[in-house]
C-alpha cells in the first residue's frame, strides 16, 4: 500500500485532528431543528446526572447517623432521623429513573427527526447538483452517505453526545462532592485520572484517526460492490470473475486494515481505563485505610466551613470509595465515546461535504409559458395548458417580449472541454431549423453525445454561442430549457412503478389516455397490452422483467408524451433488434414530424433520411450535408457507408 495518507473529499489528511467546527455545526442544526425539545432533553440529562451523584451526600449522612446512634443505642430516635433520609435517597433514584426514561424517549424522537431532516436536505441538494458531480462520483459512494454515514451520525446523536454530557456532569458533580469531604483523598483520585487522561489521549487519538480512514474505506468498498453488481452480465460474459475477486480482495483488505486498527485501539481503551479505575479503587482503599487508622487530619470544604481540619472517618471513607468508583466509571464512559464521536464526526463531515457541494448554477431569466394569440396574431400568455409555448423574455427596461417556441437551434463556433487539459469540441457550428432532422455520426469519443449535453446545458460551453429560437440558452432558465427538449438516451432508466407511471414520467400531468396514445404512436402498445397487467404491470429493478428493446420502447413513449418541439435521440434504437426497429421506426417518424430532431446513431436506417448529416472526428465537424451529397463527395461518410452496415 502507498505511504501517502489518504485524503478526505476536501483534501484534509485523515491523520489530523477532527475539526471542532463539524461538532459545532451538528449542534447548531440540532438546536435550530428542535428549539424546544433540545433544551428540555438537556435539562433532563442534567437533572438525571445530578440526582445520580447527589445520593453520595445522603449516604455519608446515613452512615454518620448509624455510627452515632450505634454508640448511643437509641434506635427509635435513629429511625426518626435515618428513615426520612433513606426516603429522600430513594426519591432521588426514582427521579433519576424518570428523567432518564424521559430523555431517552425525547432523544430517540430528536435523533430520528434530525436524520430525517438531514436525508431530506441531502436528497434535495443532490437534485440541484450538476450532472458533472454524478459523472465523477461512484453511485455506491453516494449511497454510502445515506446508509453508513447517516448511521454513524445516529450513533453520535443518540448515544455519544448524551453520554458525554451525562458523564461530564456526573464527573464534575462527584468531584465537587469529593472536594467537599476531603481534598487529600481527592488528590489521590486525581493521580489516577491523570493516568487515564494520558492513556485516552494516546489510544483515543489513534482510534479517531483510523475510524476516519474506515469511513472512507467503507464508502470505497460499497461503491465497488455496487459497480460490480450492476455489471454482472459484463463480468460473466468476459469470464472476469476471478479478476473481480482479486480487485475486491484488495479493496476489502484496505477496509480490514483500517477497521482492525480503529477497533484495536477502541477495544483496548475501555479495559485499560477500567483496570486503571480498579487499581485506583484499591489504592484509595489502602491509602484511606492508612489515613483512617492514623487519624490523618482532613482538609475539605466541609471542614473549612466548620472551622477546623477534622480527621478522615469511616463515614467519609465509605461514600468516598463509592464516589471514586463512580468518578472513574464515568471517566471510562467519556473515553469509550471517543471512537463513536470520531466515527460520527467523520460521517457528519462527509455528509456536510456533499451538502456543501456547489449547486448547478442557473442565471436564466427567460421562462417557458403557455401561449395563445389574439385577433391581431400577437402572442398572449395563458395560465392554462394550450399545447403551444412561448419564451417569456423580460428586459432591463421593464418590458417583456414573447417568442414562439419553434425549435430553431444554432451552435456557433463552440469549444468545450470536460477538463481544461483535455478539449473535446473545437469550433463546432450547427444550424438546425424547425422541423429539421440533424444526425451526428463518427467514431466513439468523437464528441457526438457531448453536443447534445451542451444543448440541454448538462455542461456549459467554454467559448462560442448556442441559441434557441434566437435566444442565448444561457439566458433561459435550465428547467424551462429542458422542459422544451425530449431526450431518449442509449441507457434506459425505468423506475419502480407501473408501465403507465413510467410513461407518465415524461409529463406528470398527462392523462392515462395521453400516455396510451404515446405508446401507440411509437409502437409500444402491442407488447404492453400483452403483459400480465397491461399498462398496470409493475416494474422494478430498472424493468428487469422486460427485454432491452421493450424498455427502450417505453423510454421512447415517455419522450413522446412530453410532446416537445425538439427531440434528442442518443442511440435511441441501438438496443432494438431489426424487426422491432422496423415497428418503432414508423412511430419515430410520426414522433419526429414538425419537430427539430438531433439524432446520434450508427444504423443507416436512422441516419439516411436526415436533412443534414454531420461527421465528427476528434471533436471537429469534418463533413456535413445530406446522405446523397456525402455519398457523392466520397469522403469519410462514404467510406463508412461502403465499409459496414453500421457506422462504427
pLDDT at 14 over 50: no
Confidence at residue 647, expressed as pLDDT on a 0 to 100 scale: 47
Residue (of 136, 137, 155) closest to 211 by Cα position: 155
The sign one gets for the Cα dihedral 443, 449, 455, 460 is negative
The band of 318, judged by pLDDT with boundaries at 50, 70 and 90, is confident
N residues, the chain: 648
Residues 6+ apart with CB under 8 A from 644: none
Kindly state the average pLDDT of the residues 484-500. Answer: 85
Kindly state the average pLDDT of the residues 589-600. Answer: 80
The band of 56, judged by pLDDT with boundaries at 50, 70 and 90, is low
Angstrom distance (rounded) from CA 501 to CA 508: 9
Angstrom distance (rounded) from CA 122 to CA 81: 61
More confident residue, 138 or 40: 40
pLDDT at 473 over 90: yes
Comparing 95-109, 329-343, 349-363, 573-587, which segment has the lowest mean pLDDT? 573-587
Look at phi and psi of residue 469 and say left if phi exceeds 0, alpha if psi is from -120 to 50, else beta. Answer: left
pLDDT at 16 over 50: no
Contact 281, 328 (CB under 8 A): yes
- Site of grid cell 466509571: 329
Residue (of 377, 401, 380) closest to 391 by Cα position: 401
Contact 439, 607 (CB under 8 A): yes
pLDDT tens, residue by residue, 105-117: 999 999 999 999 9
pLDDT tens, residue by residue, 63-79: 666 766 666 666 677 67
**Nine cell digits for residue 66:** 448509624
**Nine cell digits for residue 269:** 481503551
Kindly state the average pLDDT of the residues 359-380. Answer: 89
Contact 557, 519 (CB under 8 A): yes
Q: Rounded to 5 degrees, what are φ and ψ at 74?
A: -90, 80
Residue (of 403, 379, 342, 329) closest to 152 by Cα position: 342
Residue (of 61, 65, 87) closest to 78 by Cα position: 65
Contact 248, 217 (CB under 8 A): no
Confidence at residue 605, expressed as pLDDT on a 0 to 100 scale: 63
**Nine cell digits for residue 260:** 482492525
pTM recorded for the entire structure: 0.71
Work out the number of other CB atoms within 10 angstroms of the CB of residue 555: 27
pLDDT at 97 over 70: yes
**Nine cell digits for residue 645:** 452496415
Confidence at residue 415, expressed as pLDDT on a 0 to 100 scale: 93
Radius of gyration (Cα) for the chain, nearest Å? 37
Contact 469, 391 (CB under 8 A): yes
Angstrom distance (rounded) from CA 638 to CA 508: 44
pLDDT tens, residue by residue, 23-41: 899 999 999 999 999 999 9
Which CATH topology does 20-355 take? ABC transporter transmembrane region fold (1.20.1560)
Confidence at residue 4, expressed as pLDDT on a 0 to 100 scale: 41
Q: Where are the alpha helices (DSSP H) in 294-313?
A: 301-305
More confident residue, 315 or 487: 487
Angstrom distance (rounded) from CA 305 to CA 405: 89
Kindly state the average pLDDT of the residues 480-499. Answer: 86
User: CATH homologous superfamily for 409-643?
Assistant: P-loop containing nucleotide triphosphate hydrolases (3.40.50.300)
Q: Which helix (H) or strand (E) holds 61?
A: helix 55-72
Confidence at residue 227, expressed as pLDDT on a 0 to 100 scale: 72
Q: Rounded to 5 degrees, what are φ and ψ at 629?
A: -65, -45
- Measure CA of the first residue to CA of the last residue in the chain; give whole Å: 41
pLDDT at 317 over 60: yes
pLDDT at 1 over 60: no
pLDDT tens, residue by residue, 335-345: 777 778 877 88
Kindly state the average pLDDT of the residues 207-232. Answer: 72
Amino acid at each position: 500500500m502507498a505511504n501517502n495518507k489518504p485524503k478526505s473529499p476536501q483534501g484534509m489528511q485523515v491523520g489530523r485532528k477532527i475539526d471542532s467546527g463539524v461538532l459545532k455545526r451538528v449542534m447548531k442544526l440540532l438546536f435550530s431543528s428542535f428549539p424546544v425539545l433540545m433544551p428540555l432533553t438537556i435539562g433532563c440529562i442534567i437533572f438525571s446526572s445530578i440526582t445520580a451523584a447527589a445520593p453520595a451526600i445522603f449516604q455519608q449522612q446515613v452512615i454518620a447517623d448509624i455510627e452515632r446512634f450505634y454508640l448511643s443505642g437509641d434506635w427509635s430516635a435513629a429511625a426518626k432521623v435515618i428513615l426520612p433520609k433513606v426516603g429522600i435517597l430513594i426519591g432521588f433514584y426514582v427521579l433519576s429513573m424518570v428523567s432518564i426514561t424521559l430523555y431517552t424517549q425525547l432523544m430517540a424522537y430528536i435523533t430520528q427527526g434530525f436524520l430525517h431532516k438531514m436525508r431530506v436536505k441531502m436528497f434535495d441538494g443532490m437534485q440541484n447538483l450538476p450532472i458533472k458531480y454524478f459523472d465523477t462520483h461512484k453511485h455506491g459512494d453516494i449511497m454510502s452517505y445515506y446508509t453508513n454515514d447517516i448511521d454513524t451520525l445516529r450513533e453520535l446523536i443518540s448515544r455519544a453526545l448524551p453520554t458525554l454530557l451525562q458523564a461530564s456532569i456526573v464527573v464534575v458533580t462527584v468531584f465537587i462532592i469529593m472536594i467537599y469531604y476531603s481534598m487529600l483523598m481527592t488528590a489521590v483520585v486525581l493521580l489516577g485520572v491523570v493516568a487515564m487522561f494520558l492513556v485516552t489521549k494516546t489510544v483515543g487519538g489513534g482510534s479517531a484517526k483510523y475510524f476516519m480512514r474506515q469511513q472512507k474505506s467503507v464508502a470505497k468498498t460499497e461503491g465497488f460492490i455496487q459497480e460490480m453488481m450492476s455489471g454482472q452480465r459484463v463480468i460473466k460474459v468476459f469470464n472476469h470473475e476471478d479478476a473481480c475477486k482479486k480487485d475486491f480482495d484488495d479493496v476489502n483488505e484496505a477496509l480490514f486494515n483500517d477497521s482492525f486498527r480503529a477497533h484495536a485501539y477502541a477495544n483496548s481503551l475501555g479495559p485499560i481505563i477500567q483496570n486503571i479505575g480498579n487499581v485506583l479503587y484499591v489504592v484509595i482503599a489502602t491509602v484511606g485505610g492508612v489515613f483512617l487508622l492514623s487519624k490523618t487530619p482532613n482538609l475539605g470544604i466541609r471542614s473549612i466551613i466548620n472551622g477546623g481540619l477534622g480527621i478522615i472517618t469511616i463515614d467519609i471513607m465509605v461514600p468516598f470509595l463509592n464516589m471514586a468508583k463512580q468518578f472513574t466509571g464515568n471517566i471510562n464512559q467519556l473515553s469509550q465515546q471517543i471512537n463513536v464521536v470520531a466515527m460520527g464526526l467523520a460521517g457528519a463531515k462527509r455528509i456536510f461535504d456533499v451538502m456543501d457541494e456547489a449547486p448547478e448554477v442557473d442565471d436564466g431569466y427567460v421562462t417557458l409559458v403557455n401561449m395563445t394569440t389574439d385577433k391581431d396574431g400577437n402572442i398572449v400568455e395563458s395560465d392554462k395548458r394550450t399545447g403551444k409555448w412561448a419564451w417569456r423574455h423580460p428586459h432591463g427596461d421593464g418590458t417583456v417580449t414573447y417568442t414562439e417556441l419553434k425549435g430553431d437551434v444554432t451552435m456557433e463556433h463552440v469549444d468545450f472541454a470536460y477538463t481544461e487539459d483535455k478539449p473535446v469540441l473545437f469550433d463546432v457550428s450547427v444550424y438546425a431549423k424547425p422541423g429539421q432532422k440533424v444526425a451526428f455520426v463518427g467514431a466513439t469519443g468523437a464528441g457526438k453525445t457531448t453536443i447534445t449535453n451542451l444543448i440541454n446545458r448538462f455542461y456549459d460551453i467554454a467559448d462560442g454561442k448556442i441559441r434557441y429560437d434566437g435566444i442565448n440558452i444561457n439566458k433561459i432558465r435550465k428547467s424551462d430549457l429542458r422542459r422544451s427538449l425530449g431526450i431518449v438516451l442509449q441507457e434506459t432508466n425505468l423506475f419502480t412503478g407501473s408501465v403507465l407511471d413510467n410513461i407518465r414520467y415524461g409529463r406528470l400531468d398527462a392523462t392515462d389516455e395521453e400516455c396510451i396514445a404515446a405508446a401507440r404512436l411509437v409502437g409500444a402498445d402491442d407488447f404492453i397490452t400483452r403483459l400480465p397487467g397491461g399498462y398496470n404491470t409493475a416494474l422494478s429493478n430498472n424493468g428487469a422483467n422486460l427485454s432491452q428493446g421493450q424498455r427502450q420502447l417505453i423510454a421512447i413513449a415517455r419522450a413522446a408524451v412530453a410532446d416537445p418541439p425538439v427531440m434528442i435521440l442518443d442511440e435511441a434504437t441501438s438496443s432494438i433488434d431489426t424487426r422491432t426497429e422496423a415497428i418503432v421506426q414508423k412511430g419515430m417518424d410520426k414522433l419526429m414530424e414538425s419537430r427539430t430532431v438531433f439524432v446520434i446513431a450508427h444504423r443507416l436506417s436512422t441516419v439516411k433520411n436526415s436533412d443534414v448529416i454531420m461527421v465528427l472526428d476528434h471533436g471537429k465537424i469534418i463533413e456535413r450535408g445530406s446522405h446523397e451529397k456525402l455519398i457523392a463527395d466520397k469522403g469519410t461518410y462514404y467510406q463508412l457507408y461502403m465499409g459496414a452496415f453500421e457506422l462504427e
